[in-house]
Amino acid sequence: PQTIRRADYQPLAWTVTDVDLHFALDPAATLVRSRLTLKRNPRAPAGPLVLLGDELELVSLQIDGRTPAAARITDTRIEVDLDGDTATADIVTRIAPAKNTALSGLYTSRGGFFTQCEAEGFRRITWFPDRPDAMARYTVTLEADKASYPVLLSNGNLVGHGELADGRHFARWQDPFPKPSYLFALVAADLAVNERRITTMSGREVLLQIWTETAALERTGHAMESLVRAIRWDEERFGLELDLERFMIVAVSDFNMGAMENKGLNIFNSKLLLATPDTATDVDYESIEAVVAHEYFHNWTGNRVTCRDWFQLTLKEGLTVFRDQEFTADMLAAEGGDSARAVKRIDDVRVLRAAQFPEDAGPMAHPIRPDSYQEINNFYTATVYEKGAEVIRMLQTLLGRDGFRKGMDLYFARHDGQAVTCDDFVAAMADANGRDLTQFLRWYSRPGTPRLSASGRYDAAAQTYTLTLAQRSAGAADEALLIPVAVGLLGADGRDLPLTLAGATAPGTRLLELDAAEQTWTFTGVAERPVLSLLRGFSAPVIADLDEDDATLAFRMAHDGDPFNRWDAAQRFMERTVLGLAADAAAGRPLATPEAFVAAFGALLADDALDPAFHAQALALPGESYLLERMTPADPAALRTALMHLLRDLGKRFAADWLDRHLDCRVAGDYRYHPRDVGLRALGNLCLRYLCAAGELAGFAAAERQFAQAGNMSERLGALGALVHSAAPQRDSALAAFHAHYATDTLVLDKWFALQAGAWRWDPAAAPTLARVRQLLAHPAFAATNPNKVYALLGGYFRANPGEFHSPDGHAFWAEQIVALNAINPQVAARMARALERWRSFTPALQASMRRALETVAASEGLSPDVAEIVGKALA
Ligand code: B3K
Ligand code: ZN
């Protein structure tokens, strides 16, 4: 496969100012007529017109009304030398949407037509300079059978519609804003609409629409509320207003990822749009609100100002994730206060540690702005998105909220309507604040997770505390990053000490800017020996190596004034405990939970002053994939044994407390998506988890009761999950009851598939989970062509169940499934393929079967560039 490099960027020799598209829609053969108005680019070296295509049938090509004499045409590229400074190209292409199982370009889903063009799907619709710096104005005419496709949508404003012969009809749409082709969209389907009119900050009336299949219309209420809140928030926080007369969102069942920010016509995976209390969990409600907001926020950060090339992806994604994180935090804090804000931060860091840290330590490691790629779709990663958001967050931390806002204002003032780079963004931040950010820019080119270490020295006589911080990035020793490090010092009574540095005193937390390999600060007037609280609020995406003893961890777990660090202290103590137990399991030693940990955990459990959502976070063990990453060599079976032991042990020892607390967590009344209720349900479900893991009969009974009486999906799935993740005799009947209740609800069945694929084996005599996964592959509700089903069943097994998956049988099954998926949908296959990329960090026995599986896939025929890049880099 070919490697594309950032350094090779060249501006287009010919740009497109206007595109006129005509679609004669037909599932088997759609005819696409395209007229491009072309202009020579005065700022680029001379060159031919270059049009890109992928799986297109070229019917005809004319330049200025004539067939060009010397066009160079291959399957994927057309080059034509043009005279003069302007030209018109007329291109007719034939495509087959119903055969498009890759779900990139124009495809069919449940009888309708939908598109997905980011990153390079537009070239699967028609020949085009399909790259983000080719920004043009689009006029789109859709023509289709009226009975089958009564609704015809595209970007922008509806400028015409009417009837045609033979029961067909048409609609014409015009988008007033120039845009790159990746933001093009069309929908033709039988849909119903939920609509609302609102007035924007400048007093314009706009129409908001959410389109779905008629049966799902009643599930769109939460998404609509979320959209309105997102619009208001962007007005208030960033002064950014909706720029269109109408903003549409469409739900689709078959979709490769979560959602897509096409200009004025967002297309959503229905699982991230549709919700009722009976079908969606609290977590679903939160994700829907966040993703609706995320795609809406892209209208400015991504669409009005877009990326010059795909290496700049984090320009729009890191920034937009940061914006949606801030939005969710503000929404939660409005109803749940600062504690709810801290819980959101904890959630985000959990994701970063579970997904991004491993990525950054493996063969796919890349800076947030990569230098090269083979297949751009493989680079919509946790690094570009989540670490990218952390980099933006550091800018806000360094510049302050107001300084950050000034930088955003300048960014839009300078670049509205342009395709730009990450350097342009950082330059706007620097210029608006009169600050040199040259060193900060290193975050954009540094792969890997930096490590931060601290050592403190207390001088009782001088009453000083001297703190030395050091940083280390693998393979880049001489170039220090600028790292904002928020610190606090705790006194013996657990309270924050005032911090005095160079004569200036701050009450609790201070921001230190570490900009060298090693640096020292001396706090004065420190009346007692303090305990350090480092990296408060997770002020930088680094691994902090703290070497704290058990007593210090227990102390911070009980007292740290920074809620994030209080949670983090508990996580560190849990990690130490689990990894210790896993080492014992690997060595065949008997397992015994250290009493110091049990005591600290018990104290945390008994703390009634804690907000329930925070309490649930603090009592939940670190994620299995994060722990696996912290283990050398990674031994998933030993880790699973350790986790089971610890859950059982803590469940048993505190059985009475878990039962009481579960009762205290009951929420009366109708379902509300409100942080207080959400927190209570999360904590209640966690109690069931521990109780059922411990095999407590009273726990099984409580879970069974909650399952039967549940008033909403969070309670129902929480109870079912507790039963399935245990040796409860009720587990199979509960799964069957759940299936019977939701047999025709495809979105809810995804939860049922995922739960079973992720099941641990609490009964050592039971068959491996693989047997169940194989059975479910043949279940009538499963479809390998539907990404949600694949992510639920195969993702639930490969990614969410390492303790079961990592075995020679599991690895052979993986190879077989990747090869099958590759033929259907390369993007989905590549995502699943990543489950083995960290194979070199495992025990030798597992490495052998992993390597065999990777080699089987690498040697298979017809491998897509997507999967080839993943397995190629893994084996390299
Ligand atoms: N921009 C899209 C992601 C496109 C993924 C293409 N493989 C959704 C988002 O980040 O908002
Ligand atoms: Zn995005």
List of residues 6+ apart from 589 with CB closer than 8 A: none
Which atom in ligand 1 lies closest to the alpha carbon of residue 377? 7
Residue 337: give the domain boundaries. 306-444
DSSP-derived 3-state class of residue 436: coil
Say if CB 383 and CB 371 are below 8 A apart: no
DSSP secondary structure letter of residue 408: H
Closest CA to 583 of 635, 520, 515, 525: 635
Say if CB 145 and CB 130 are below 8 A apart: no
E strands within 462-564? 464-472, 483-490, 499-501, 504-506, 510-514, 518-524, 531-534, 543-545
Look at residues 404, 426, 444 and tell me which one is the last residue of a structural domain: 444
pLDDT, mean of residues 374-401: 98
Give the alpha-carbon dihedral of 270, 273, 278, 279, to 10 degrees: 30
- Nearest ligand to residue 118 Cα: 1
- DSSP secondary structure of 318-347: HHHHHHHHHHHHHHHHHHHHHHHHHHHHHH
On whether ipTM exceeds 0.90, the answer is yes
Asked if residue 56 is part of any domain, the answer here is yes
Q: Amino acid identity, residue 397?
A: T
Asked if residue 331 is part of any domain, the answer here is yes
| d(CA 258, ligand 2 centre) in Å | 9
Check if 195 is active-site. no
Average pLDDT, the chain: 98
Q: What are phi and psi of 420, to 5 degrees?
A: -125, -175
DSSP secondary structure letter of residue 182: G
| d(CA 418, ligand 2 centre) in Å | 18
User: Which residue among 261, 306, 307, 869 is best mutated to probe the pocket of ligand 1, counting the most ligand atoms within 8 A of its Cβ?
Assistant: 261
Which atom in ligand 1 lies closest to the alpha carbon of residue 294? 11
> So what's the pLDDT on residue 475?
78
Say if CB 97 and CB 113 are below 8 A apart: yes
User: Which residue among 115, 120, 123, 260 is best mutated to probe the pocket of ligand 1, counting the most ligand atoms within 8 A of its Cβ?
Assistant: 260
Please check the confidence at residue 476 and state whether its pLDDT lies above 80: no
C-alpha to C-alpha distance for 176 and 184, rounded to whole angstroms: 13
Q: Quick one: 397 and 515 in the same domain?
A: no
DSSP-derived 3-state class of residue 799: coil
What are the CA-CA distances from residue 535 to residues 138, 217, 333, 446, 605 (Å)? 48, 45, 22, 20, 25
Closest CA to 384 of 367, 397, 396, 364: 367
User: Which residue among 103, 118, 272 is best mutated to probe the pocket of ligand 1, counting the most ligand atoms within 8 A of its Cβ?
Assistant: 118
Q: How many independent structural domains does the chain possess? A: 3
Structure tokens at 562: 């920074």
Q: What are phi and psi of 307, to 5 degrees?
A: -90, 140
Which atom in ligand 1 lies closest to the alpha carbon of residue 257? 5
Q: Report strand pairing: 205-212 vs 246-252.
A: parallel
Q: Amino acid identity, residue 667?
A: V
Q: Quick one: 54 and 161 in the same domain?
A: yes
Condensed to tens digits (0 to 9), the pLDDT of residues 780-808 reads 999 999 999 999 999 999 999 999 999 99
| d(CA 306, ligand 1 centre) in Å | 13
C-alpha to C-alpha distance for 143 and 146, rounded to whole angstroms: 9
- Nearest ligand to residue 375 Cα: 1
Q: Amino acid identity, residue 426?
A: V
> Whose C-alpha lies nearest to ligand 1, atom 3?
260
Which atom in ligand 1 lies closest to the alpha carbon of residue 376? 7
For residue 494, the domain's CATH number is 2.60.40.1840
C-alpha to C-alpha distance for 268 and 579, rounded to whole angstroms: 40
C-alpha to C-alpha distance for 294 and 530, rounded to whole angstroms: 42
Condensed to tens digits (0 to 9), the pLDDT of residues 811-834 reads 999 999 999 999 999 999 999 999
Q: Quick one: 64 and 178 in the same domain?
A: yes
| d(CA 610, ligand 2 centre) in Å | 34
Residue 66, CA atoms < 13 Å, CB-side half-sphere? 6
| d(CA 69, ligand 1 centre) in Å | 39
Please check the confidence at residue 262 and state whether its pLDDT lies above 80: yes
Please check the confidence at residue 749 and state whether its pLDDT lies above 70: yes
Look at residues 427, 444, 461 and tell me which one is the last residue of a structural domain: 444
> So what's the pLDDT on residue 1?
84
Please check the confidence at residue 246 and state whether its pLDDT lies above 90: yes
| d(CA 315, ligand 1 centre) in Å | 13
Which position has the token pair 């069945």? 749
Q: Quick one: 22 and 75 in the same domain?
A: yes
Q: Quick one: 418 and 475 in the same domain?
A: no
Look at residues 500, 522, 540 and tell me which one is the last residue of a structural domain: 540
Could you count the other beta carbons within 10 Å of the beta carbon of residue 685?
23
- Nearest ligand to residue 267 Cα: 1
pLDDT, mean of residues 33-42: 98
Q: What percent of the chain has pLDDT over 90?
A: 99
- Nearest ligand to residue 258 Cα: 1
Q: Quick one: 119 and 146 in the same domain?
A: yes
User: 86: phi > 0 → left, psi -120 to 50 → alpha, else beta; which?
Assistant: beta
| d(CA 298, ligand 2 centre) in Å | 7
> So what's the pLDDT on residue 477?
62
Selecting among 118, 213, 289, 295, the annotated active-site residue is 295
- DSSP secondary structure of 501-520: ETTEEESS-EEEEE-SSEEE
What are the CA-CA distances from residue 247 to residues 209, 298, 357, 373 (Å)? 6, 13, 36, 34
Which atom in ligand 1 lies closest to the alpha carbon of residue 317? 10
Residue 660, CA atoms < 13 Å, CB-side half-sphere? 7
For residue 362, the domain's CATH number is 1.10.390.10
Could you count the other beta carbons within 10 Å of the beta carbon of residue 765?
6
DSSP bridge partners of 452:
471, 544
User: 239: phi > 0 → left, psi -120 to 50 → alpha, else beta; which?
Assistant: left
Say if CB 159 and CB 174 are below 8 A apart: yes
User: Which residue among 115, 267, 317 is best mutated to probe the pocket of ligand 1, counting the most ligand atoms within 8 A of its Cβ?
Assistant: 317
List of residues 6+ apart from 465 with CB closer than 8 A: 456, 457, 458, 459, 489, 522, 523, 526, 530
For 199-252, give the secondary structure using H, E and C: ECCCCCEEEEEEEECHHHHHHCHHHHHHHHHHHHHHHHHHCCCCCCCEEEEEEE
For residue 5, the domain's CATH number is 2.60.40.1730
Structure tokens at 376: 């751009």
Asked if residue 475 is part of any domain, the answer here is yes
> Whose C-alpha lies nearest to ligand 1, atom 9?
260
| d(CA 654, ligand 1 centre) in Å | 44
- DSSP secondary structure of 675-742: HHHHHHHHHHHHHHHHHHHTT-HHHHHHHHHHHHH-SSHHHHHHHHHHHHTTT-TTHHHHHHHHHHHT
C-alpha to C-alpha distance for 564 and 767, rounded to whole angstroms: 40
| d(CA 321, ligand 2 centre) in Å | 7
Q: What is the pTM of this model?
A: 0.99
> So what's the pLDDT on residue 764?
87
| d(CA 86, ligand 1 centre) in Å | 33
Helix extents (H) in 778-824? 787-790, 796-798, 802-805, 808-824
Q: Quick one: 25 and 154 in the same domain?
A: yes
Angle 278-281-287 (CA atoms, 0-180°, nearest 5)?
130
Q: What are phi and psi of 266, to 5 degrees?
A: -70, 140
C-alpha to C-alpha distance for 867 and 60, rounded to whole angstroms: 33
Asked if residue 708 is part of any domain, the answer here is no
| d(CA 392, ligand 2 centre) in Å | 14
Q: Quick one: 141 and 18 in the same domain?
A: yes
Q: What are phi and psi of 196, to 5 degrees?
A: -145, 145
| d(CA 544, ligand 1 centre) in Å | 31
Residues in the chain: 876
Structure tokens at 466: 């001297």
List of residues 6+ apart from 708 with CB closer than 8 A: none
Around ligand 1, the residues with Cβ closer than 6 Å are: 118-119, 257, 259-261, 294-295, 298, 317, 377, 380
Which atom in ligand 1 lies closest to the alpha carbon of residue 295? 11
> So what's the pLDDT on residue 478?
72
Asked if residue 206 is part of any domain, the answer here is no
- Nearest ligand to residue 825 Cα: 1
Q: Quick one: 175 and 312 in the same domain?
A: no
Q: What are phi and psi of 803, to 5 degrees?
A: -65, -30
Asked if residue 319 is part of any domain, the answer here is yes
> Whose C-alpha lies nearest to ligand 1, atom 10?
317
Q: Quick one: 475 and 420 in the same domain?
A: no
Please check the confidence at residue 175 and state whether its pLDDT lies above 80: yes
> So what's the pLDDT on residue 474?
86
- Nearest ligand to residue 323 Cα: 2
Which atom in ligand 1 lies closest to the alpha carbon of residue 259? 8
Q: Quick one: 436 and 456 in the same domain?
A: no
Structure tokens at 281: 């969990």
C-alpha to C-alpha distance for 410 and 395, rounded to whole angstroms: 15
Asked if residue 247 is part of any domain, the answer here is no
C-alpha to C-alpha distance for 94 and 804, rounded to whole angstroms: 46
C-alpha to C-alpha distance for 789 and 796, rounded to whole angstroms: 10
Confidence of residue 99 (pLDDT cuts 50, 70, 90): very high
User: 475: phi > 0 → left, psi -120 to 50 → alpha, else beta; which?
Assistant: left
Closest CA to 123 of 71, 74, 187: 74
Burial class, 214, CB count within 10 angstroms (exposed 0-12 / middle 13-18 / buried 19+) = exposed
pLDDT, mean of residues 223-243: 98
- Nearest ligand to residue 260 Cα: 1
Asked if residue 720 is part of any domain, the answer here is no
Which atom in ligand 1 lies closest to the alpha carbon of residue 119? 6
Q: Quick one: 422 and 459 in the same domain?
A: no
Structure tokens at 75: 């399957």
Which atom in ligand 1 lies closest to the alpha carbon of residue 298? 11
Q: Amino acid identity, residue 336?
A: G
Say if CB 211 and CB 274 are below 8 A apart: no
> Whose C-alpha lies nearest to ligand 1, atom 7?
377
Q: Amino acid identity, residue 554?
A: A
